[in-house]
């Protein structure tokens, strides 16, 4: 099992400006959700944004330390808009 802090660190290592929130969806430690906000997502499709994040956690997923990872990715501007509507 991998800690939520470790997942956050992996993502931040690959995307240094990222703001990251990681949650355990089931309590088992291997079904996670990550919300990632980064300026590196500017001009990239949602698929490309997710590929950046999956690339960061690729090894943890390959070893099944992470069985499932739900992603929500935002540019800083999109995050600002999403936060105002919540």
pLDDT per position as a tens digit, 22-57: 999 999 998 999 999 999 999 999 999 999 999 999
Both tokens assigned to 65: 């330390």
User: Could you tell me how far CA 7 lies from the centroid of its own chain?
Assistant: 8
Whether the full predicted model's pTM is greater than 0.95, yes or no, is: no
Choices 3.10.580.10, 3.40.50.2300, 3.30.300.90, 3.40.50.620: CATH for 4-79 = 3.30.300.90
Give CA–CA dist 40/3, Å, rounded: 25
**What's the pLDDT at 7?**
97
Give CA–CA dist 8/20, Å, rounded: 6
Domain ranges of the chain: 4-79
């Amino acid at each position: 099992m991998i800690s939520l802090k470790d997942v956050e660190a992996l993502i931040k290592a690959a995307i240094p400006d990222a703001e990251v929130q990681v949650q355990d969806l089931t309590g088992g430690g291997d079904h996670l959700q990550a919300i990632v906000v980064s300026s590196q997502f500017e001009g990239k499709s949602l698929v490309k944004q997710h590929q950046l994040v999956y690339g960061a956690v690729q090894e943890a997923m390959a070893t099944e330390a992470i069985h499932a990872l739900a992603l929500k990715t935002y540019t800083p501007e999109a995050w600002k808009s999403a936060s105002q509507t919540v």
